[in-house]
């Protein structure tokens, strides 16, 4: 079975530009989450989408937005790129939106990430 896929693998942009990252979840998974991982740090939560609705949002500016499509794939958009947006962007999918809760035996499955470099 295919795991979580992300595209593109690498991306180079300049300050002020806009970028769109894509994620396809594991078949049957309805929840997609996005994380940003800056070099040397752990991943930080950006968004969670479930059934095309935003279910959670981390502490990121409005320049970051996302959406989920009827086939449960998702896009993350970042506008007005800053040098500090350079990071590995990870997508994770799970069957349920509360996959990390105590009542769930579900877990999040991560994709390989998109490496974004802002010059």
Partner 1 sequence: SQQGEEDPQALSIQEGENATMNCSYKTSINNLQWYRQNSGRGLVHLILIRSNEREKHSGRLRVTLDTSKKSSSLLITASRAADTASYFCATPNQAGTALIFGKGTTLSVSS
Q: Which residues bind partner 1 (CB under 8 A)?
A: 4, 33, 39-45, 48, 55-56, 58-59, 88, 90, 92, 97-102, 104, 107-113, 115
CA distance 10 to 8: 6
Min separation Cβ 10 and partner 1, Å? 11
Q: Please, what is the minimum distance in Å from the beta carbon of residue 16 to partner 1?
A: 26
Give 64-73's long-range contacts (Cβ < 8 A, gap of 24+).
66/34, 68/32, 72/25, 72/29, 72/30, 72/32, 73/22, 73/23, 73/24, 73/25, 73/32
**Residue 23 or 81 having the CB closest to partner 1:** 23
In angstroms, what is the minimal distance from the CB of 60 to partner 1? 12
Of the pair 34, 78, the CB lying nearest partner 1 is at 34
Residue in the structure block whose two tokens are 């593109």: 8
Helix (H, G, I), strand (E, B) or coil at 85: helix
Residue closer to partner 1, measured from CB, 19 or 93: 93
């Amino acid at each position: 079975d295919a795991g979580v896929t992300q595209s593109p693998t690498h991306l180079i942009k300049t300050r002020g530009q806009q970028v769109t990252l894509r994620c396809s979840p594991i078949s049957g998974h309805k929840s997609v989450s996005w994380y940003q991982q800056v070099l040397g740090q752990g991943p930080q939560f950006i968004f969670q989408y479930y059934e095309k609705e935003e279910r959670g949002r981390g502490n990121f500016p409005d320049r970051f937005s996302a959406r989920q499509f009827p086939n449960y794939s998702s896009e993350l958009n970042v506008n007005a790129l800053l040098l500090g947006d350079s990071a590995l962007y990870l997508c994770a999918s799970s069957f349920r939106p509360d996959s990390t809760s105590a009542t769930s035996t579900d877990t999040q499955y991560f994709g390989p990430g998109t490496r974004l470099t802002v010059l």
